[in-house]
Structure 1
Amino acid sequence: MIREFGTGVGALLRGFRMWKSHTGLLALGLIPAFIAWALLLAALIPLVIWLGPITDWMTPFADGWTAPWQGVLRFGLGAVIVVAALALSAAVFTALTLTIGDPFYQRIWRGIERSLGEEPTGETGFWSTVGEGVRLVVLGILVALLTLLIGFVPVVGGIAASIIGILLNGRLLARELTGRAFDARGLTGYSRSGMLRAGRARVIGFGVATQLCFLVPFGAIVTMPAAVAGSTLLAHDLLRRATPGAPQSVSEPAPPPPPPGHPRA
């Protein structure tokens, strides 16, 4: 289980390594990622600013409590709200970025497929991307609400909410990001879900690592193109795993050919 989780984290790291060998290709994904990040930041800043009044409004029963219990309750509630908001923001960021930058991420995905010796022929389609994005946001809202409810559990609620929220949201992110490779091969939702379940620890490892990178300042912008590349590798791993006798992981993608006149040419 731990080894499989680490393999999923490794898929994202392999995606990051492609910044060196496929710099121009991955750079295409920076602009839509920045736009989505800026929009989400504009929504999160007011939440943080008004967090105090929000927690006061949600806990009128604590107005007469003595210190320090009133402060402890409202601080804990504020922390849970922030955790839930971050869990939702990861889903919204992914859906929004993939929708805004669909042509760019299509090129990244296809470039990685070709570097793995594949020639993708299927099309995911813009409206398919929008539909998957809406689905991801709806599920992200449910995860955020669950996180919020767990946060009210005394003593361990905050820690439990953070861990469960990251795990559930990580799986959602991994499912969404691997969608292009699966959809292009005509796999049904049932087949796709089966492969994701078979490699659950690997899928969660990839999704959790991606979400944690999103939480680093400006990390989401650089991570998103690498996550698209890494998710393509993860999808290939899962596809090969589902084929009897196939190797468990794909090899490192070959770098793109050098331009004419380059010393390597």
Structure 2
Amino acid sequence: MGYLAKGQKWVGRHGRWWAFGMIPALITLAGYAVALFFLGGWAGDVAEWATPFADSWSSLWQDLLRTTLAAVVFVGGLLLSVLTFTAVTLLVGQPFYEELCEKVDETEGGAPTPPDVPLWRELVVAARDSLFVLVRAGGFGVLLFGAGFIPVIGQTVVPVLGFLVSGFFLTLELTSVGLQRRGVARRERLRLLRGRLGLALGFGVPLVLAFLVPLVTVVAMPGAVAGATLLARDLVPVEEEPSSPEDGEGDGEPDAPAVPDLPEYGAQRPVDGNPYADGPAGGNPYAAAPHPVEPNPYRGA
């Protein structure tokens, strides 16, 4: 739960990014509100269409059946929206949360180099990962639904297990952005979180309880993404390349081999036996002034 507190604290210090991270949740909330509005208006028609056998019933029993069925349809849609709100928000907010995750990495240091893939590819990968999580969570949901009919256990143990399963997969979804930036494959993320089960549950279960209220999801989602990024940083730390030592600093070794000092030219001595060491060569006819040649008969011409 410390990562949740750190994430909320981070967005509290960076208010602009907190507002930026709420945009996907607001978009999803508006979409769900419109969908539930139309579902509420059409629930009666859906109930009437689904119960043609009740046309011959008396009005009392017919209205009771169809009103109950319409209420079940609306409540089912509401429950479905609550269960899928986070997954849809993460899918809609993939570009937003990618930027938020990158900012958290930059401010905390040790930012990884993300894979160079186009935006459409990132959206496809995010949709595929969300579908992967939903299918697995749905499989556990079917098992827990069947176990819910077991007396006593179905009313005590099964609900607790349901929250634990939901918390684990919510952590898997939220950390997917940060771990994907670090090149961790989907199945490897699952293995990492299974190896740190207490950490995954401690992060996800409180969020599941809080996210049962969609408005809380809108407000807390940016901090949840920031906290999940901090968690991913500790799961897969990025090794920084050692910086080259500055002049005279670091480990004391020079950057390049030292050039040996050369003697001054004045201190150099000629090699023994050099005939030109002390003067011109013996027998050089041009050592003295040259003798003039015979007078040029054309000099005055």
Instruction: Give the TM-score normalised by the residue count of structure 1.
Output: 0.66
Amino acid at match of 1:100: V
Among 6, 11, 17, which residue is 2:9 paired with?
17
State whether structure 2 residue 158 is matched by structure 1 residue 166: no
* Contact residue 92 and residue 140 of structure 1 kept, 8 A: no
Kindly state the Cα deviation for residue 141 of structure 1 after the two structures are TM-superposed: 2.3
Matches within 5 A, 1:173-192: 173-192=170-189
Among 140, 152, 165, which residue is 1:143 paired with?
140
**Bigger-Rg structure (1/2):** 2
CA deviation string 1:129-164 (max 9, x = no partner):
111122222223223323322221113313323211
Aligned to 2:153: 156
Aligned to 1:95: 87
State whether structure 2 residue 234 is matched by structure 1 residue 237: yes
CA deviation string 1:12-45 (max 9, x = no partner):
1211112321111121121211232344466678
Which gives a bigger RCO, structure 1 or 2 (Cα 8 Å, sep 6+)?
A: 1
State whether structure 2 residue 210 is matched by structure 1 residue 213: yes
Any idea what SS the aligned residue of 1:28 has? helix
Kindly state the Cα deviation for residue 119 of structure 1 after the two structures are TM-superposed: 2.5
* Contact residue 143 and residue 169 of structure 1 kept, 8 A: no
Greater displacement, 196-205 / 155-164 = 155-164
* Contact residue 147 and residue 154 of structure 2 kept, 8 A: yes
Structure 2: distance between partners of 1:104 and 1:145: 33
Structure 2: distance between partners of 1:204 and 1:43: 31
Structure 2: distance between partners of 1:144 and 1:44: 23
Aligned to 2:114: 122
Among 76, 100, 105, which residue is 1:108 paired with?
100
Amino acid at match of 2:97: Y
Structure 1: distance between partners of 2:158 and 2:34: 25
Aligned to 2:224: 227
Structure 2: distance between partners of 1:182 and 1:108: 14
Amino acid at match of 1:22: H
Amino acid at match of 1:101: G
**Percent identity among equivalent residues?**
34
Distance 1:155 1:190, change over 3 A: closer
Amino acid at match of 1:194: R
State whether structure 2 residue 201 is matched by structure 1 residue 204: yes
Any idea what SS the aligned residue of 2:236 has? helix
Task: Compute the RMSD of aligned alpha carbons.
Answer: 3.2
Distance 1:120 1:89, change over 3 A: farther
Bigger share in helix:
1
Distance 1:217 1:16, change over 3 A: same
Gaps of 5+ in 1: 1-8, 58-77, 244-265
Distance 1:90 1:115, change over 3 A: farther
Amino acid at match of 1:202: L
Kindly state the Cα deviation for residue 184 of structure 1 after the two structures are TM-superposed: 1.6
* Contact residue 91 and residue 172 of structure 1 kept, 8 A: no
Structure 2: distance between partners of 1:148 and 1:37: 27
* Contact residue 167 and residue 208 of structure 1 kept, 8 A: yes
* Contact residue 37 and residue 220 of structure 1 kept, 8 A: no
* Contact residue 90 and residue 211 of structure 1 kept, 8 A: no
